[in-house]
Amino acid sequence: MTRREAYRAMHAWGLNIPARAWCDPALARRDVEMRALRAVGVPVLDIAARYGISPGYARKLLAGIYPRVPIRKPPRPPSKTAQRRAEAQRRAIDRAMTHASARSLRSVGYSTHQIAQRIGLSQRQVWRIVRHVHIRELRGRARLPDRQGRPALWRDALAAAAEGRACLLPAYMLTPK
């Protein structure tokens, strides 16, 4: 049944017009035959068995109660809350991927400036993301952070010890972290 037929059936039902009469002529003939058989005295169970329908449905048709044909409603648009939640999840995933790539670049020794250029963030954002990353190697102008060792002091102290200018070095200067 097309949407137009369904609409017409609903309209006819609202006006108490049997919708089957104009929807399908075969069904209209069947209903007339069922009423004629019932008028002659044939039991409802036999009428239902003859036409292959349930006895309850046969009783309804004989009483003139025709089934409504529901109009299929289009699916309603998703709620704003669900849309916002999905968008927030997408942003969180993108942010996590960006942070992971920034951290991996920093761990192999890229500077915050190089990472900012590669990823497309500001240098301040990159610094906030990668400030706790342990650096395994250095590339270019990247420097080790203070908490990971003091390479300049360490180098100067080693050079002074090698030249004989220093005799006692603090433990943190003897081995890089």
Q: According to the per-residue pLDDT averaged within each range, which of 8-22, 29-43, 150-164 is highest?
A: 29-43
Pair 128, 170 in one domain: no
What are the strands, taking DSSP E only, across the chain? none
Pair 87, 137 in one domain: yes
Cα-Cα-Cα-Cα torsion 21, 26, 31, 33, nearest 10 degrees, comes to 130
The tokens for 126 are 């990159």
Please report whether residue 97 resides in a domain. yes
Pair 118, 160 in one domain: no
- CB count within 10 Å of CB 147 equals 10
Please report whether residue 67 resides in a domain. no
pTM of the model: 0.41
Please report whether residue 95 resides in a domain. yes
Please report whether residue 122 resides in a domain. yes
Q: According to the per-residue pLDDT averaged within each range, which of 22-31, 74-83, 97-106, 161-170 is highest?
A: 97-106
Give the separation between CA 116 and CA 105, rounded to whole angstroms.
10
Q: Nearest Cα to 139, choosing from 106, 162, 166?
A: 106
The tokens for 56 are 């309850």
Pair 134, 157 in one domain: no
What's the one-letter identity of residue 53? Answer: I
pLDDT digits (tens, 9 = 90+) for 107-158: 888 888 999 999 999 999 999 999 888 777 777 666 666 666 656 666 666 6
**How many domains are there within the chain?**
3
Pair 154, 121 in one domain: no
- According to DSSP, residue 122 is labeled -
Pair 117, 136 in one domain: yes
Give the separation between CA 94 and CA 104, rounded to whole angstroms.
15
Pair 41, 93 in one domain: no
Please report whether residue 94 resides in a domain. yes
Please report whether residue 70 resides in a domain. no
Please report whether residue 75 resides in a domain. no
Domain of 173? Answer: 145-177
Please report whether residue 30 resides in a domain. yes
